[in-house]
A and B are shown apart, each in its own frame.
Chain A
């Protein structure tokens, strides 16, 4: 039996004095425990909302998120859109935070955090404060903070959005390497179609707000994957297909509040 994340008829509406904002409606999705799934959709369609629901940071208005065939409740860890590192903790203590709240003893959690930082090439910045790091290093530290708790499900919300193209490519490669080392589920939200194809086993395309799944596309690239090893012509075609699906959704997407639907 394969471990699954199953999203059934999920809906979420935010209530506000100026009218309710439906962010998700009628969403169905199934993701295997070892799959890397990228989620693309027009900006403001409800991608972050979806991740927050899966993370348990907010409650759905309708439907449910369920986990099938796991030996124990899967551990979820989120990499937030802005890294959300604590400015008052060193990189090491930031990374170890998830272990600290689990009650892992100080020496052990520091060892584990340091070990992970070493694998990510950040060990020389372990004692630095986040403001002393570059944007790319901060994002790496945020990824390390999520990975250190050894999650079964890694949730990533446009983690590379604020980075320059080169840093982004390096971090994308790094992420692929990390997740190929240890099988886990990744739900990776991005508005960048190319990024979704390069990273994912499957790309889920969302409609405009309120979001539901428009279509799913299997990416014809195997693993391990190396992004810098030449170009992939089949990707080009895929990119246009996804773009042509997304484009009408973007022009349809109603304003940020009310209206629409």
Chain B
């Protein structure tokens, strides 16, 4: 098996495969089998995309979506991180907060949107809050688990040398939980992006989700595809940034251990 393709670059076969799929799609779209409305040819999608990028429309929506995501992630992620670290460290904190957590965590955060709309109104606040909530829980759960999985020997060494306060936080708690905190950040970003798009579908005039909705209502499928493409790229990029971040921030890991974040 291996000898035949050994000299060939590993990317060649998949690339050829997907090029063929695109070409077949291009030329069959509009024919008898493939509906032009559902599956417009890639060239049409590409030209819509280029037009929307040129006139700044797409970038405007993208910026708005990213701002909402970034705000929600920053607020929800940072509070989740702090609370999670604290709950991982203090048993009392865990005992106080875990009933509330157990009740709220399984609740789909999006279902809180109507309530938040009542409280915060139709503006940006309600959107950012629901995105923040969706980022808060994965971050909190992972940060807490990250602190709790620090092994007994590490705690014992810290105790033996009387580590306290900032030294304990900086030298033991933060680095010890960092791999799981970063995994939590990734989960929080993904869930934040999902909720951002969903909120925009439901209650926004602008943003990538709103664009999707408008494109469906007006049956402009090329716009639909072009927007989906941008959302996918956004998702891939956020994950890539976090993968890179974990490589930079966790240099003490043996090689090969980074793959789970890539």
State the A residues within 8 Å of B (CB).
Answer: 55, 57, 77-78, 80, 82, 84, 86-89, 93, 97-98, 100-102, 129-131, 149
Contacts and interface: CB of A to CB of B under 8 A. Distances in A.
A80 B163 contact: no
Interface in B151-190: 153-154, 156-157, 159-164, 167, 171-172, 175-176, 178
Interface centre among A97, A100, A149 (most CB of B within 10 A): A97
Contacts of A84: 153-154, 156-157
Contacts of A100: 167, 171
Contacts of B172: 86
B106 interface: no
Interface string B122-144: 00000000000000000000000
A57 B159 CA distance: 8
Given A101-B162, A129-B251, A131-B254, A86 B167 contact: no
Nearest to B179: A88
Nearest to B175: A88
13 contacts: A55-B160, A57-B156, A80-B153, A84-B153, A84-B157, A86-B154, A89-B175, A97-B161, A101-B161, A101-B162, A129-B252, A131-B254, A149-B161
Contacts of B178: 88
A82 B176 CA distance: 17
Contacts of A129: 251-252
A101 B164 contact: yes
Interface residues of B, number: 21
Interface string B230-251: 0000000000000000000011
B160 A86 contact: no
Contacts of B176: 86, 88
Nearest to B159: A57
Chain A, interface SS category? loop
A90 to B, nearest CB: 9
A82 B171 contact: no
Nearest to B156: A57
Interface of B: 153-154, 156-157, 159-164, 167, 171-172, 175-176, 178, 250-254
Contact of B161 (A82, A93, A98, A131): A98
Interface centre among A77, A78, A84 (most CB of B within 10 A): A84
A131 B172 CA distance: 17
A190 to B, nearest CB: 19
Contacts of B153: 80, 82, 84
Contacts of B162: 101-102
B78 to A, nearest CB: 22
Contacts of A55: 160
Contacts of B252: 87-89, 129-131
A149 B161 CA distance: 9
Given A80-B153, A149-B161, 9 more contacts: A55-B160, A80-B156, A82-B153, A84-B154, A86-B172, A88-B176, A98-B161, A101-B161, A129-B251
A50 to B, nearest CB: 15
A187 to B, nearest CB: 15
Given A86-B172, A87-B252, A88-B176, A101 B157 contact: no
A18 to B, nearest CB: 20
B147 to A, nearest CB: 14
A113 B68 CA distance: 48
A97 B178 CA distance: 19
Contacts of A93: 171
Contacts of A86: 154, 157, 171-172, 175-176
A89 B159 contact: no
B167 A101 contact: yes
Given A86-B154, A129-B252, A131-B252, A78 B160 contact: yes
Contacts of A87: 252-253
B109 to A, nearest CB: 33
Interface centre among B156, B164, B176 (most CB of A within 10 A): B156
B145 to A, nearest CB: 17
A149 B154 CA distance: 18
A129 B159 CA distance: 22
Nearest to B174: A88
Top 9 A-B residue pairs of the complex, sorted by shortest distance between their CB atoms:
A88-B175, A84-B153, A129-B252, A98-B161, A88-B252, A84-B157, A101-B163, A101-B161, A87-B252
